[in-house]
Amino acid sequence: MLTAQIQIGTWPQSVAEFERLIEATQDELVQHAFCRLGNRQDAEDTVQDVYVEAFRDRQKRAHITEVRAYLFRMVGNRCTDVRRRWRFTTGPLDDHHATSDTTFSQVAGREQAERFARLLAELPPAEAEVIRLRAWSDLSFAEVAAAVGSSVPTVKSRFRYGLDKLRRLLMPEGGPNL
């Protein structure tokens, strides 16, 4: 209900409204960032940075009504920045990151994200992003369109093309290989 209110409302302006926004969206944004970055610490740091930026620039963004989708876009952009920085450092799976998630479920989650990332790496980035937002973040096509700044028909086309390519990767003739 809270998410729905935020979707139809405008960009929050008060600290109290931001608190409600964070309460409503933190899990799915962390999930999205985790999907992109593969470890919890970086995912949470990224999401925190996005919320603070969203608060700092709240007046500038007061006209935005698709708040949730826009937050996904901000997280996506910031994840891209983080990954870009990794190219100049040791990367996401160095010792520091690998040891920051220690429980079995966290390790399983990280492996799952890595496997998903390897699959999506076979797709054009625009198709990969649509698949990611649909499959891991449960955004509707309309929300995905708002998040990536495209039309719904374009997003659906990318989803279809991406899904078909993944089908060929996952289930080549003779049976699935993953």
The residues of the shown chain that bind another protein, judged by CB under 8 A, are 14-16, 18-19, 22-23, 26-27, 29-31, 34-35, 40, 43-44, 47-48, 51-52, 55-56, 105, 108-109, 112-113, 116, 119, 131, 134-136, 138, 140-141, 156, 159-160, 163, 166-167, 170-171, 176, 178
Q: Which is nearer to another protein, 88 or 176 (CB)?
A: 176
Q: Least distance (Å) from another protein to the CB of residue 88? A: 26
- Collapsing DSSP to helix, strand or coil, 139 comes out as coil
Quote the least distance from Cβ 72 to another protein, whole Å.
15
Residue 125 buriedness (CB in 10 A; 0-12 / 13-18 / 19+): exposed
Taking each continuous run of H as one helix and of E as one strand, the counts in the chain are 9, 0
For another protein, the closer CB: 88 or 111: 111
> 40 — alpha (psi -120 to 50), left (phi > 0) or beta?
alpha
Q: How many CB atoms lie within 10 A of CB 64?
A: 16
**Structure tokens given for 116:** 């998903």
Q: Which is nearer to another protein, 88 or 150 (CB)?
A: 150
Angle between helices 104-120 and 152-170 (to 10 degrees): 100
Q: How far is the CB of 142 from another protein (least distance, A)?
A: 11
| CB 156, min distance to another protein, A | 6
- Considering the complex, state which of residue 51 and residue 72 has its C-beta at the smaller distance from another protein: 51
* Nearest distance from C-beta of residue 95 to another protein, angstroms: 21
Q: What is the 3-class SS of 93-127, one letter each residue?
A: CCHHHHHHCCCHHHHHHHHHHHHHHHHHCCCCHHH
